[in-house]
């Protein structure tokens, strides 16, 4: 199979057993179970995709994340999945376009080799009202890991992995409080606070995969929290 063909393929064959619950989530979860913010019925919004990439590191299963540059116009300084808007060359946004966009953006932002990623599922499209992005989360297994790092400091401040054991640890969980009053799930990382859209996706994946551990939802942290 060519690298280009692989970018158009979704397969959960050969996954490590610990990822089976996530593959099951992709097959069964409904949009409203993931978020109350769903794409407008009018079809408006900028089509985009993110790569939710699972790998195995020194501390076991892990997730690839990055910190966006503080100079960006939207979501500056936030910790996020690699990803971005679909380009015309990515193809049909209703079929393989999001797969290609997620892998292309991840390569551009983190330097990873897309040929080492197995796309094993796609979550329902969600919506980010503040930036009008319609986002397709693409699930990937880092079958053949490659070196990663910030390719362009104008876009990416840092690239790193976080063990799933850290994300599921109740000591690292909290509720973020936006200055406008919005509250949502958050994760306390060594690099800073994971909140917003990305934290919401992580929170729901952990929950529906059966990995979530009881945590103190009354513990609130401001968005400027730092380790």
* pLDDT above 60 (res 74): no
Taking residues 95-111, report their average pLDDT.
96
Among the listed ranges 6-10, 38-42, 140-144, 171-175, which one has the minimum average pLDDT value? 6-10
Nearest to 81 by CA among 98, 94, 96, 58: 98
Q: How far is CA 139 from CA 15, 43, 152, 202, 223, in A?
A: 12, 23, 24, 11, 27
- Cα–Cα distance between 226 and 71 in angstroms, integer? 19
* pLDDT above 50 (res 58): yes
In this structure, the strands spanning 126-128 and 192-194 are: unpaired
Taking residues 2-24, report their average pLDDT.
84
pLDDT at 222: 86
pTM as predicted = 0.93
pLDDT at 206: 98
- Cα–Cα distance between 64 and 54 in angstroms, integer? 7
Q: If DSSP codes are grouped into helix, strand and coil, which group holds residue 38?
A: coil
Q: How far is CA 200 from CA 81, 128, 186, 221, in A?
A: 12, 11, 8, 15
Q: How far is CA 185 from CA 53, 64, 72, 170, 172, in A?
A: 20, 18, 23, 12, 11
Check if the beta carbon of residue 99 is closer than 8 Å to that of residue 10.
Answer: yes
Helix and strand numbers (H, E) in the chain are: 6, 12
Nearest to 69 by CA among 177, 180, 151, 131: 151
Q: Per-residue confidence at 72, pLDDT binned at 50, 70, 90?
A: low
* pLDDT above 80 (res 69): no
Taking residues 47-51, report their average pLDDT.
96
Torsion angle, alpha carbons of 84, 7, 165, 160, to 10:
-50
Phi-psi region of 91 (alpha: psi -120 to 50; beta: other; left: phi over 0): left
Mean pLDDT score across all residues of the chain: 91
pLDDT at 76: 55
State the DSSP code for 28.
Answer: H
Check if the beta carbon of residue 226 is closer than 8 Å to that of residue 193.
Answer: yes
pLDDT tens-digit profile of 109-138? 999 999 999 999 999 999 998 888 999 999
pLDDT at 168: 98
Largest pairwise CA distance in the chain? 50
* pLDDT above 80 (res 17): yes
Among the listed ranges 71-80, 100-109, 112-121, which one has the minimum average pLDDT value? 71-80
The tokens for 151 are: 């390719």
pLDDT at 2: 45
pLDDT at 106: 96
pLDDT at 79: 93
pLDDT at 1: 43
């Amino acid at each position: 199979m060519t690298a280009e063909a692989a970018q158009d393929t979704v397969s959960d064959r050969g996954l490590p057993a610990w990822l089976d619950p996530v593959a099951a989530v992709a097959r069964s979860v409904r949009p409203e179970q993931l978020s109350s913010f769903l794409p407008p019925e009018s079809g408006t919004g900028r089509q985009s995709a993110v790569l939710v990439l699972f790998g195995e590191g020194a501390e076991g299963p892990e997730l690839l994340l990055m910190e966006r540059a503080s100079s960006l116009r939207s979501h500056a300084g936030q910790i996020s999945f690699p990803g971005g808007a679909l380009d015309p060359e990515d193809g049909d946004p209703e079929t393989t376009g999001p797969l290609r966009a997620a892998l292309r953006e991840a390569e551009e932002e983190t330097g990873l080799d897309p040929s080492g990623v197995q796309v094993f599922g796609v979550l329902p499209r969600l919506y980010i009202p503040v930036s009008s992005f319609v986002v397709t989360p693409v699930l990937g297994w880092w079958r053949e890991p490659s070196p990663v790092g910030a390719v362009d400091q104008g876009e990416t401040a840092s690239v790193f992995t976080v063990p799933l054991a850290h994300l599921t640890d109740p000591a690292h969980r909290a509720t973020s409080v936006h200055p406008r009053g919005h509250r949502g799930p958050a994760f306390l990382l060594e690099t800073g606070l994971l909140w917003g859209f990305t934290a919401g996706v992580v929170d729901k994946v952990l929950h529906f995969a059966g990995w979530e551990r009881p945590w103190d939802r009354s513990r609130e942290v401001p968005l400027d929290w730092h380790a």
